[in-house]
Structure 1
Amino acid sequence: MTSYLQRPRWIFVLLILVGLGFIALANRVFNEYILSIITFVGISMILALSLNITNGFTGLFSLGHPAFMAIGGYVTAILTFPLNRKAMLLPDLYPWLAQIRIHFLPAMVIGGILAALTAFVIGVPVLRLRGHYLAVATMGFLIIVQVLITNWDSVTRGPLGLNGLPALTNLWWVYFWVIATFYVSWKIKFSSYGRSMFAIRENEMAAQCSGINLFRTRVAALAIGAFFAGVAGGLWAHLITAITPHSFSLIMAFHIVVMVVVGGMGSISGACVAAVLCSTITEFFRPLEERFEVYGIGEISMALILILILIYRPSGIFGSREPAFLIKEKLPGDYK
């Protein structure tokens, strides 16, 4: 077995400092519209990185990421909602929940934990499936969550959703969670546990013969990805200051999967680059769509990019690799 890849830590420290400087400069220079686009790009990076843990590292094909976003988003919204507005919009809310209002950070963490627990519960039966069966099962889970949110009027306000949420999300919060998601993804990938995930992805039979617990590893990958998806849902809800059941659809699942596939299944840097690319393309075409009232150009562009990537570079932009400057030495046979 090859030894672990070594990384020069100073490069990561430098990148973090550069990011801090960029955020400080952006808050001074850019207007609210540009700042909101950059914030959306950061949330997309969190989503791509978290799905990469599930789909990229372990080779699962999950379409249920928006469901975990919805769980985290609604939990965070309810826990941070002002008490007077909560009493007005949700008069039938459980009394113990109606009197609770906590800080944004613990609310996001609780939302992420509940999303992870949900992933664990549904992962026990669902992750026994493979391939397109798993994709259909996770898609069904997304639909179940949408229907549940739509009909749970006393807690979610049904199809009307929750509006007037406090605008708590900013670049600093998003950057903090991007760094946290990147760090966790990196530590998992370059560890024995991450190698177990990649072994399952490449050859399940060989991994099982090596003593790797396939089921437990898959469930853990799904739960970890779901935690950060729940956090991203909380950030997303408090950025647009509203949340509805229809916000989390199969189209959103398609967007996140495209980011992972385009960047490269298993590549952390690729997921970040693809998230920036896909989010920027979508926002670039949005003014044109509104001006000419022709909607869907962004989605069509992303679909074309996905088709071209699958034809000319099936492994994605980075494959499963990371850029050379992030890795001190590259050992043969580590990752494709």
Structure 2
Amino acid sequence: MKRRNLALSIIAIALLLLFLIFADSSLDSYQKRILNLCAIYVILGLSMNLINGFTGLFSLGHAGFMAVGAYTTALLTMSPAIKEQTFYLEPIVAPLANLNMPFLPALLMAGILSAFVAFIIGAPVLRLKGDYLAIATLGFSEIIRIIFTNTQSITNGSLGLKSIPPHTNLWWSFGGAALTVIFMVFLIKSSYGKAFKAIREDEIAAESMGIGLFKHKMLSFVTGAFIAGVGGGLLGSLLGAINPNMFRFVLTFNVLLVIVLGGMGSITGTVISAFVVTSGLEYLRFLDETIDLGFIEIPGVAGLRMVVFALLLMMVVVFFRNGLMGTNEFSWDKLISFLKRKFPFKKEVGH
């Protein structure tokens, strides 16, 4: 059975690689952009699900970690000439002016700095619970955004950064998403993952069993921030331009929407939901424009796609209160058992 599952996994990976080769060579730039956004939201969704879904911490500070990752990656990958052109109101500080790094080290540095910020924030706020923790993390996220708005010589202030090198492509985004999924699977199956789930279910019982609450909460918070920083770096490189207004609470809400729709505490649900939400928002844009049916012309209504999408999400939440997957995960054994029940194989007996 293990060999069968391993073979099926290898086949699935091979099919994914073939799809990426096809998409990279055949799809247009708009379709590639949507696929890149889907993969990046998988990374961001999993990073938030680790904190909110698996550990049970109600954190709303994700936009701040993404901002740290996006700005770090941008500043480390931009050439000195582009920095000189971008920082025309006030020169960039000397240590950053001539600093230029390859994309992978810049992404890792983005994750490390985001994790460091999370460590500083987590020391005081992780002793809070519930709504108080949510308000505190949201406040720190806004503080990060305000700092970036007012540090003209480091982040270029409210003008933001432009001409960011476009390193993010399908291989980077889907590769990052695949590595994040693999890391999350091994983490949740480890003793640390079991401790996270125990804290989510009952903190008092977990502590009585010898689990260090603050240590494991901090580990979850910092790890989620690291992944969010990498996701923010990929997003900034994909967009090519960033500014502090991008990282308002709405961005955190979009990621929260992904994990709530997919299922709090489900890796599979987050992956599915990231593709559904991201592609759904894009492909419903025709509702905002005039629709010509030949015999009648329906005028477009600005914002109609968001109304329709919200109604669809409400229907999903009503019928799937715990999200599309709840806390369930995909497995080959479950899939094969389901197929056997739906399509039973009847063996004919010869006479």
TM-score by length of 1: 0.91
Q: Distance in 1 between matches of 2:302 and 2:11?
A: 41
Q: Secondary structure at the match of 2:73?
A: helix
Indicate if the aligned counterparts of 2:54 and 2:264 stay in contact, CA closer than 8 A. yes
Change (3 A) 1:120 1:304: farther
CA distance in 2, matches of 1:328, 1:124: 43
Distance of 1:219 and 1:299 partners within structure 2: 36
Q: Does 1:233 align with 2:232?
A: yes
Label 1:302 to 1:227 Cα distance change in 2 as closer, same or farther (>3 A): farther
In 2: Cα distance, 1:142 partner to 1:97 partner: 24
Following superposition of structure 1 onto structure 2, how do residues 203-242 of structure 1 map, counting pairs within 5 Å?
A: 203-242=202-241
Indicate the larger mover: 81-90 or 202-211. 81-90
Distance 1:88 1:326 in 2: 57
DSSP 3-state at the match of 2:59: coil
State the Cα distance separating 1:7 from its structure 2 match. 10
Contact 1:8 1:328 in 2 (8 A): no
Q: Is residue 64–residue 141 contact of structure 1 (8 Å, CA) maintained in 2?
A: yes
Match of residue 15 from structure 1: 12
SS at match of 1:242: coil
What is aligned with 1:315?
A: 322
Aligned positions, number: 326
Superposed CA offset, 1:180-201 (max 9, x none): 1101110111111111101111
Which residue number in structure 1 is paired with residue 332 of structure 2?
325
In the aligned structure 2, how far is the partner of 1:303 from the partner of 1:287? Answer: 16
- The aligned amino acid for 2:208 is C
Tell me whether 192-201 or 82-91 shows the greater mean CA deviation.
Answer: 82-91
Could you tell me which residue of structure 2 aligns to residue 84 of structure 1? Answer: 81
The aligned residue for residue 46 of structure 2 is 49
RMSD over aligned Cα atoms: 2.3
Unaligned runs of 5+ in 1: 331-336
1:193 aligns with 2:192: yes
Corresponding residue SS for 1:243: coil
Question: What is the Cα deviation at residue 11 of structure 1?
Answer: 3.6
Structure 2 unaligned blocks of 5 or more = 291-298, 338-351
Matching residue's letter, 2:82: R
Partner of 1:177: 176
Whole-angstrom CA distance in 2 between matches of 1:326 and 1:69: 36
Q: Does 1:97 align with 2:96?
A: yes
Corresponding residue for 1:162?
161
Shift of 1:290: 5.9
Contact 1:51-1:65 within 8 A present in 2 as well: yes
CA-CA distance at 1:247 after TM superposition: 0.8
Cα distance change of structure 1 residues 100 and 181 upon mapping to structure 2, 3 Å threshold: same
Residue 124 in 1 paired to residue 131 in 2?
A: no
User: Contact conserved, 1:58 with 1:198, CA < 8 A, in 2?
Assistant: yes
Cα drift, residue 305 of structure 1: 4.3
Of structures 1 and 2, the larger Rg is shown by 2
Whichever residue aligns with residue 322 of structure 2, its letter is S
Contact 2:86 2:162 in 1 (8 A): no
Deviation at 1:327, TM superposition (A): 6.9
| Alpha-carbon shift at residue 219 of structure 1 (Å) | 1.0
Does the 8 Å CA contact 1:258/1:302 hold for their aligned counterparts?
no
Shift in alpha-carbon separation, 1:282–1:211, aligned structure 2, 3 A: same
The percent of aligned pairs where both chains have the same amino acid is 39
After superposition, give the CA deviation of every residue in 1:301-326 in whole Å (9 maximum; x if it has no partner): 45434433443322111111112316
Answer yes or no: is 1:35 the counterpart of 2:29.
Answer: no
